[in-house]
Structure 1
Amino acid sequence: MILPGHTLGMLGGGQLGRMFTVAARTLGYHVVVLDPDSGSPAGRMADDHLHAAYGDAWALDEMIARCDAVSTEFENIPADTLRALARHLPVRPGAAALEQAQNRIREKGMIRRAGLETAPFQVVERPEQAHTAFAAVGAPAILKRAAMGYDGKGQVPVDSPQACAEAFEALGRVPCVLERRVDLEREISVVLARGSDGRCLCYPVAENIHRGGILHMSIVPARVPQATAQAACEAATTLAGALDYCGVMAVEFFITASGALLVNEMAPRPHNSGHYTLDACVTSQFEQQVRALCGLPFGDVRLLTPVVMVNLLGDLWAHGDPDWGRLLSHPAAKLHLYGKEQARPGRKMGHFCVLDPDLAAAVEAAEELFNRLAA
């Protein structure tokens, strides 16, 4: 075990790295963040911020010399960086797991090899494949870049072979996945922690509502049958085992109108839909990330109260800072701001949670508070 007083490294300086850093420092660890952004939110909270590229040789030497273990806050860290660090110290999760999540083609293939279901899809890597892929998948469909797409970016809805071909051109002729748009009943996600010994714990399932391809609200516990929630946890655990994963990860699911449970995608890190754990669980997903990294026993994942989490995007700052008094006047609202210097439309600037023993009341209050901020 790596105990408090040692130094942990974090690759990535965004809000997920920031919340990891807060959890680690609360537990008594030192934290070194590597991120090329000199104003990174995590870098401001860490003991030290290495302002350098993720492949910078000097920065990697510093991480090796100063850190006892390293984790990541997003999946697009170069795999070679992780492998270079792993030759000298524990890196959790490892390069192999991140490589699967960095490319939708690899990811979907891995999910199916694990015996889990996805929405129908076809690979499109050349222009001539667009028409045949569309014929196989059918309408409605969505063409997604295989790499570097998130929060609705790098995705184009298509409803004909010609539209598919045009979308492939618009996305720059990069490898893509054409995916059938299923008839959705709702979307859910599972955040779990898995140790190097294979022990796995799942947090309560979250029900997710998106706007414009970006998560807007997570409702916990998800309003789904217990059997569905259990099946999702079992599927997420299966996926983590197939990856021989160590750390915190999230798996997103579609529930179709017919009741089928389909894996949408995985995230090899803490997840936006798990932010509710900061306020409503015995152990947050970020403390759990520290525990997994350091080989400590996992904390209790029990939900203490129903909760609703709402994202705060940069759109709310269009006319200046939102009136936080409208939110903080609610005694059970918990505000988390990420310390980002510049607000932009679609940029995640913070979130808030509303806690209430009555889930329906929590949903109603969260919607009302968000509307107040947006007014």
Structure 2
Amino acid sequence: MIPPGETIGILGGGQLGRMLAMAAAQLGYRCHIFAPEQDAIAAEVSAAYTCAPWDDVEAMARFAADCAVITYEFENVPVTPLLALGEVALHPHPRALETAQDRLNEKQFIVGLGGTPAPFAPVDTPADLENAIGTIGTPGILKTRREGYDGKGQWRIMSAADVDALDLPPQPLIYEGFVNFQAEFSVILCRAMGGDVRFYDSARNVHEGGILARSTVPAGDPIAAQVSTARELAAAVAEALDYVGVLTLEFFATEAGPVFNEMAPRVHNSGHWTIEGAITSQFENHVRAICGLPLGDPGLAAATVEMRNLIGEKADEWAKILADPANHLHLYGKGAASPGRKMGHVTRLTLA
């Protein structure tokens, strides 16, 4: 067990790191942020900040020397520089990063565990894309295999004719067939060092423009009938990776059962509702897990909970939100609002 008063290192300086640092502080831990950007908002609520490129091995080693344990707040942290962390424990294990960072590897991993993803095919050349469309059909989505999030690095292909207008980037891609789904949901679990697993209630997720707009718990039908099967896959993923911390898998609810979409080896936007809506938030449980503490109760703290992302909204909208005393407002400390930028979120609880 890592006792309170020690320092937790967090790789990444965004809003997830910010909320992790705030949860860690409540448990008596200091946090040290490592991130390449000058304006890392997680650093504003942390005890220390190292601003350096990911490949700065010396800076990474100095950062590690100050930490009792290290975690990360997003899955695009390069794996190779992490060798400079030395003997300091890194949770979750880098194999989770390696799996999630490549969409092709991720889907093959899921298939190997008995999961069902959307039909997919690797695309490295225009001929590969033509073959993929011929096999899988249209409509579909062409994605970069690495990086890309919130709708970035993705191209919808509604018919084979759409390919003519594409200027393919010089990087590995993957083509996925569209899934005829009834709803979207996520499975969020936390796994302790000894293998104890706790599941949060699954939220019904609504995306707008490729960005999560709203998460609602309970999720209702048809999601409720598919959560058990989805949890079995999520537990198998955690076991296979010897995972420690919060893990998220996103699914489509379909007439044939849950279809895997993607995994995130970290705390997740669709779990922000847990800060007020669960007895123990995903952020606190992640800190508990990586520090070797007993996990907290993930049960609901209200009858219904809704979390809404504030995307590109400005300060005059925030004042209106606060006018309703039932709202819980979280602002991330970012600069000027712009279209598609997550400025914060608001959570509303219904007690009965």
Is TM > 0.5 for Structure 1 vs Structure 2? Answer: yes
Give unpaired runs (5+ residues) of structure 1.
359-375
The TM-score with structure 1 as length reference comes to: 0.90
Q: 1:50-61 to 2 correspondence within 5 Å?
A: 50-61=50-61
> How far does residue 259 in structure 1 lie from its aligned partner after superposition?
4.0
Q: 1:114-125 to 2 correspondence within 5 Å?
A: 114-125=113-124
Following the alignment from structure 2 to structure 1, what is the Cα–Cα distance between the partners of residues 83 and 296?
28
Instruction: Please point out which of 329, 335, 343 is paired with 1:341.
Output: 335
Following the alignment from structure 1 to structure 2, what is the Cα–Cα distance between the partners of residues 187 and 205?
10
Kept in 2, the 8 Å contact 1:253–1:263? The answer is yes
> How far does residue 179 in structure 1 lie from its aligned partner after superposition?
0.7
SS in 2 for 1:150: coil
Cα deviations across residues 179-215 of structure 1 (Å, max 9, x unaligned)?
Answer: 1111110000011111222221111001000000000
**Superposed structure 1 runs of 4+ greater than 3 Å apart:** 164-167
Root-mean-square deviation (CA, aligned residues, Å) is 1.4
> How far does residue 246 in structure 1 lie from its aligned partner after superposition?
1.3
Q: Partner residue of 2:7?
A: 7
Q: Partner residue of 1:232?
A: 230
Cα deviations across residues 239-278 of structure 1 (Å, max 9, x unaligned)?
Answer: 222222111111000112x242101000000000000000
2:171 is aligned with 1:177: no
Identity %: 44
Q: 1:241-280 to 2 correspondence within 5 Å?
A: 241-256=239-254, 258-280=255-277
Q: Partner residue of 1:95?
A: 94
Cα deviations across residues 328-355 of structure 1 (Å, max 9, x unaligned)?
Answer: 1222110000001232211111000010
Kept in 1, the 8 Å contact 2:329–2:345? The answer is yes
The TM-score with structure 2 as length reference comes to: 0.96
SS in 1 for 2:246: strand
Following the alignment from structure 1 to structure 2, what is the Cα–Cα distance between the partners of residues 274 and 48?
26
Instruction: Read off the aligned partner of 1:330 and give its amino acid letter.
Output: D
> How far does residue 292 in structure 1 lie from its aligned partner after superposition?
1.2
Instruction: Read off the aligned partner of 1:240 and give its amino acid letter.
Output: A
> How far does residue 128 in structure 1 lie from its aligned partner after superposition?
1.2
Instruction: Read off the aligned partner of 1:243 and give its amino acid letter.
Output: L
Kept in 2, the 8 Å contact 1:134–1:164? The answer is no
Alignment coverage as a number of residue pairs? 350
> How far does residue 162 in structure 1 lie from its aligned partner after superposition?
4.2
SS in 2 for 1:354: strand
Following the alignment from structure 1 to structure 2, what is the Cα–Cα distance between the partners of residues 133 and 46?
47
SS in 1 for 2:235: helix
Stretch of structure 1 that moved more, 140-149 or 52-61: 52-61
The change in CA–CA distance for 1:247 and 1:171 in structure 2 (over 3 A counts) is farther
2:141 is aligned with 1:147: no
2:210 is aligned with 1:216: no
Kept in 2, the 8 Å contact 1:143–1:176? The answer is yes
Following the alignment from structure 1 to structure 2, what is the Cα–Cα distance between the partners of residues 164 and 83?
41
Following the alignment from structure 2 to structure 1, what is the Cα–Cα distance between the partners of residues 198 and 300?
13
Following the alignment from structure 2 to structure 1, what is the Cα–Cα distance between the partners of residues 169 and 36?
26
